[in-house]
Structure 1
């Protein structure tokens, strides 16, 4: 065993990012219990790793845990609830209300305590999910969550756009696309308490993409803006703001067929998701084709 100081973590993180001797590097990290210097870094040998963007998946020390077994469903529901509520400073009561809405008082607390114990047993240690003064928190020193890293990338992109650092913002948006494996908890699409969190993440992502695209368009980088706007619509086909910008670009370029197809797809997506029609401003963009 090689004993390493904590200061070695940054060097080992760089080795992991560059793909240098990853098996050996991972073993060094694990054997020395080194904390990751970057809590959003994906390719670190995390004790617990969770994917919530797309189908829900959990790994313990690099091994995927099968979540389909009935005995594991409630503990994993608790973990999903904590992630849905933000991973940190999550109240026990809020989780209990989500998972045991019919239970009250001692019954709700008992169900919560039992399920938390089972989840900790399943993942092998208590530390990854702390409970203090009725508040739950995932420990970023040993646990990585894709939704957590995704939101952090969006936050950095927003800050970069505000500071006028467009290329840095685009790099963070690219990182967010790399993390976005699908809708938040897509395998729980029918669970009511996941819907708001799912829509909120998509709306924030599309808002950042639109803001970056506006800057690109203003600087004459139309092709790059189109690329980001189109990619944004793969995340949320009903994102009307993104669609409006693409429609305007198509109108200016005289691409009538593309514009009509884009508008029809938006119309279908909005009807399916919201039961709504495109806004008058969106319809006006299409109608401008026929006034020429």
Structure 2
């Protein structure tokens, strides 16, 4: 329907034609010219419809006055149409969501009345079906009647002989995007866009309706991870806003672009856009002022100022409370609040907030809160109860995949990256997780392993393997010998880099300084060519190394994990043997064990730099075993897998330090607790033989322990 459906002889007929044409200026002039020829309620209704074309903030105020007057006069059909138009306006006008509940109630009451529009052919039923779709979206409950209304709108849009005007088409399109989004029917967005953006039809609509369509479809694309398409849609909308001086819509679209820039880590550009926004553009509407404050809070958090972000977001939430905005309009602010609490170290509060929101919200919002809640719970349980954490993580990521919700924890990319690394290590939805990592360019956490989609992964333990973007590269050939040796040297170092002097001394020990440097530069060029990327190998500050944002090796990762284990054991605040310490230690030992204890570059002939690197690896294994023994206290029979992993670490350490009595005792304890008396005795006998080899007698402490544990006593 194109404005209320007046009898053919009424003065509203020209207004109806102008509405269909989308000519706001002519409609305003005609409405003024009619004066008292229109009843006051009809005047208010047409002023509201005009407001939809002019970006005015008083649309719902006019409709409220018209509804009150028609209701008092028992003009039920007119009152019903006022409520239907208002409900659609609530969904189209993103600053009017605080009035949704009122108009939902009025429409629900009016639907019990005979609805003549149900019997009218198109376009007479436009507002009735438009309101039906809006009611389903705004209430969060898509019922059969709402679905039927959506199907009729879609059929009207696709008709070969359009019965809707260009403006009505875009209004219907916005409603259908929201409806399909609520249904999670994301594939329909492209079809809707191609239908509605047919050049002739699109150009005939008013600038405001075109802007709102572009904003709506852009927001839907953004929410399902189609950031590039969303940005194109929003940029078109912003260009149109500037050309037509649509300031209210410019605020709305600018905030959308800020959101996108912040998601992409482009903080400086986002701040520049924020500084260019005039709050008066929103005509004082609460929802838009709240959104502006929310984006300011996001910028502060991403700039490393969580306390300031919390203050700004609390101001936004206070304004929302004062404006009585419905819960549906607070979902984004509440997810931001949870992330700010996480950044402040208030993890329990964040989880409690998400649980509350999960039960209070409906539809997709409730599902999003559920995903975030389960992600955080999985993270907190990852060491204490890995199996429960894995189940929660699988449920959360499965929900995110179904929702196409790739921007979880958008304000905490490091935490999102850590969760993705954990999911990959546990083989939880790896294809989806890799998609998220690549689309968001998430930073790799320090413990990201070979499962992470590194540009370059180098395996050195037990042999030599290169993987470039997941594909194995040949690691043999005379022409590649020197570049690959340089690569192995860098990959074996803590920071994946060596000094230029060390590299030249190792690879060209007999060359002069200038000659060695030329050889190094040539070798780097050949290595870059082999890897197919110049930025993977970097030279600067007197060092040559791999790009640590894109490359990793098993040795460097293993060293980081061992450092973390040792640091945990040396922390004075820790009371060793307590549950959190033990859980963290077990998790680190598991990760170290996954990388293995094989010889560094096994099979390669030793050269000085390689011999030194192997010795470092041996020493690190021993340090890891000593740190684990310090942290874990008494072995637990209830943790057989943990016992096996610790035993493997201890065995590897004793291979390099067979006389480390502390580690011998610990390994015997682990075997005994796991019920492997024979293994404990084997460890004891091996130690006994090592002592005999150097002519050293066993000490009394070990002999007493052996007797206490029922093992054969050692001779003096």
Q: Deviations over 1:121-177 (max 9, x none)?
A: 111112122101331232221112111111111111112222332331232122111
1:174 equivalent in structure 2: 590
Q: 1:239 to 1:22 in 2, by over 3 A?
A: same
Name 1:237's counterpart in structure 2: 655
1:239 to 1:134, Cα distance in 2 relative to 1, 3 A: same
Q: Could you say if the C-alpha distance between residues 123 and 261 of structure 1 is closer, same or farther in structure 2, counting changes exceeding 3 Å?
A: same
2:551 is aligned with 1:140: no
Q: How many residues align?
A: 280
Matched, 1:262 2:686: yes
Structure 2, gaps ≥5 residues long: 1-224, 229-262, 266-406, 408-412, 575-580, 707-712
1:199 shift after superposition: 1.6
| Partner residue in 2 for 1:75 | 483
User: Between Structure 1 and Structure 2, which shows a larger proportion of strand residues?
Assistant: 1
* CA distance 1:278–1:58, change in 2 (3 Å): farther
In the alignment, what sits opposite 1:209?
Answer: 625
| Map of 1:274 onto structure 2 | none
1:50 offset after TM fit, Å?
Answer: 0.8
Q: Secondary structure at the match of 1:187?
A: coil
Task: Report the TM-score, using the length of structure 1 for normalisation.
Answer: 0.78
Match of 2:255? none
158-167 or 113-122, larger mean C-alpha shift: 158-167
2:611 to 195, 200, 204: 195
After TM superposition, the structure 1 stretch with the greater mean CA deviation from structure 2, 174-183 or 120-129, is 174-183
Distance 1:176 1:259, change over 3 A: closer
Aligned with 1:210: secondary structure?
Answer: helix
Q: Is residue 67–residue 76 contact of structure 1 (8 Å, CA) maintained in 2?
A: yes
> What is the TM-score with the length of structure 2 in the denominator?
0.35
Displacement of 1:222: 7.5
Structure showing greater Rg: 2
Quick check: 1:232–1:242 contact (8 Å CA) kept in 2? no
Contact 2:457–2:553 (CA under 8 A) maintained in structure 1: yes
Alignment equivalent of 2:567, drawn from 159, 178, 183: 159
Taking the aligned partners of 1:249 and 1:178, their CA distance within structure 2 comes to 19
Q: 1:83 offset after TM fit, Å? A: 2.7
Q: Deviations over 1:227-248 (max 9, x none)?
A: 5355422355132254564369
Q: Which of 93, 98, 102 pairs up with 2:510?
A: 102
Contact 1:40/1:149 (<8 A) preserved: yes
2:530 to 122, 126, 130: 122
Please say if residues 84 and 197 of structure 1, whose CA atoms lie closer than 8 Å, have aligned partners that are also in contact.
yes
Cα distance change of structure 1 residues 226 and 286 upon mapping to structure 2, 3 Å threshold: farther
SS across alignment from 2:609: helix
Residue of structure 2 aligned with 1:14, choices 413, 419, 424: 419
Bigger shift: residues 115-124 or 20-29: 20-29
Q: CA deviation at 1:278?
A: 4.3
Q: In 2 relative to 1, CA 6–245 (structure 1 residues): closer, same or farther, beyond 3 Å?
A: same
SS at match of 1:182: coil
Alignment correspondent of 2:107: none
Deviations 1:52-85 (A, max 9, x none): 1220111111100010122222111011122334
Q: In the alignment, does 2:227 pair up with 1:3?
A: yes
- Distance in 2, Cα, partners of 1:286 & 1:189: 42
Larger helix percent? 2
- Distance change in 2, residues 1:66/1:250 (3 Å): closer
Distance 1:282 1:21, change over 3 A: same
What do you get for the CA RMSD once the two structures are aligned? 3.6
State how far apart, in whole Å, the 2-side matches of 1:239 and 1:96 are. Answer: 33
Structure 1 residues 92-149: Cα deviation after superposition (integer angstroms, max 9, x where no partner)? 1210110111111221111111110010111111212210133123222111211111
Distance 1:104 1:171, change over 3 A: same
Q: What is the distance in 2 between the residues matched to 1:162 and 1:182?
A: 27
1:39: Cα distance to partner?
Answer: 3.8
Give the Å deviation of 1:88.
Answer: 4.8
After superposition, the Cα gap between the structure-2 partners of 1:28 and 1:222, relative to the gap in structure 1 and judged at 3 Å, is: closer
| 2:500 matched residue in structure 1 | 92
Q: 65-74 or 224-233: which moved more?
A: 224-233
Higher relative contact order (CA 8 A, sep 6+): 1
Which residue of 2 is the match for residue 36 of structure 1? 443
Map 1:268-283 → 2, pairs under 5 A: 277-278=693-694, 280=696
Give CA deviations for 1:172-201 in whole Å, capped at 9, x if unaligned.
122111112511222325223211211222
Looking at structure 1, the residues matched to 437 and 662 of structure 2 have their Cα atoms a distance apart, in angstroms, of 48
Separation of aligned partners in 2, 1:244 and 1:81: 33
